[in-house]
Structure 1
C-alpha cells in the first residue's frame, strides 16, 4: 500500500473549514476525499497536518492518504486539479514512507495574518485581510512580540476554555512588516492552539492602538483569562503558509 503526501493550496472563503462535516459538503477535506474516492475506486480518507477554521486560507497545507492505486502521481494530480473546485489546488503529490503522518511528524508551522490599516477599506483586499482603521505603533507591537515569543501557557490567547491536554506551546518567532497600508504578521512554532494566531494578532493590534498595555500580556499568561487579551480577528486574513518536516 502506498502512502502519498499532498501539498494543498486553497481559498477558504466559501468553506466551513478543513475538517470533513457530516451535514455539509463545504469542507476542504470532504471535497478532496470525494474526488480521491472516485479516482481510486475505494473509500479514501486524508489526514491533514491540522484543521483550519471556516474562512481561513492555505498556501501550504499538508495531508497524506494511503491507497492501493498504482496510478502515476502526475496523472493523479492532473485529475485532482481538473475535478476539484478552482479554489482548491493540489500543488504536489509525493510517495512517502509508510510511517509518515502529516500531523504527528510536523516539526513546525508558519502562519501569516494580513491587516489593512487605513481609514478606508479596500475592495480588493477585504477577502484576504482584516480592516483595522486605528493608527498603530509598530515599535510597541514589536516590543510586545518579544514577550510572546518562547515557551508559555497560551490558553488565555486561544478559544479554549479548558483542556485536559497541555496548552503550553513554544512560539519560535513573530515578525511584523508593513508595505503601504498592508501589515503582514508572521507566526512560527511547532503547533498552535485553536484560534491562537487570531487572538495574538488581535492583542498586538490593540496594544499598537493603545487599547491594551504591553503588561497585559503578562497578566494573560499569569491568569489564563481570555477576556484580558485582545479581540479575535476574523478568519479571512489568516493563511497557513507552510508545514515543515524533518
Structure 2
C-alpha cells in the first residue's frame, strides 16, 4: 500500500532542515539593497595596510571605523532577520583567527549605524539570531546574539556555562574540586583514565585562568583549572 506523506509534514521537515547560512568571503566592494527600497546601494570599504582607520561607504553614507593594530579583510552582506526589509553589512578585521572580529552595520536609507561586534559570523539563518564562535585553545565558545531592530543593536544572550564537549586521557593524577569557590576535592583523577571536559563558565574579572567542568571516568563531576588540563592530560586538540 502506498503511503502518502502529508504536505504539512513535508514542509515542516524542510523548514527544520534549512542549513545555516554562513557569511561569504569578504570583498572590498559589492552592492545590495540594504534598506528595502528596491534599489541596490553601492557598498565599498577603503583601507591601506598601516592605516588606523577604514572608510565604509554605502550609497551616499560614509562611516569611519577604527582599524588600529589590525587588518581589514573586506565586507560581506548578511540578512539577520528575513522577516523585515533590511539587510546588514559586516566589516571583517583581524591579524589572526584568535583576534578576528566582525562589526555589523545597518543602513536606514540615510546613515550607517553600528549594530554590534562579534568574533565570527558562524551562523546567520535569517531568524534574528547570530551565532558566533571564538577559539579558546582547544574548543569553540559559541555565543548567541539577538537583533533588536527598534534599537538597531545586536544583544548578547548571557550563558551561565558554555558547552565544551572534549575528551582527554589523564597522564598525571590531579583533583577535580567541588566548586570554583570551594577547593575540597570531589575525586582524584586516576592516571590513564578518560575524562570528559563538559563546559566552561565565562571568565570573570578576578579569574587568572579558565575553569572547566569535568566528568571523571566514574561519573563524578568537579571543576579543574586550565593548567591541569594542559599539563596533566593528553588528547585535547590544543592549537594557537
If the length of structure 2 is used for normalisation, what is the TM-score?
Answer: 0.29
Bigger helix fraction: 1
Bigger strand fraction: 2
If the length of structure 1 is used for normalisation, what is the TM-score?
Answer: 0.28
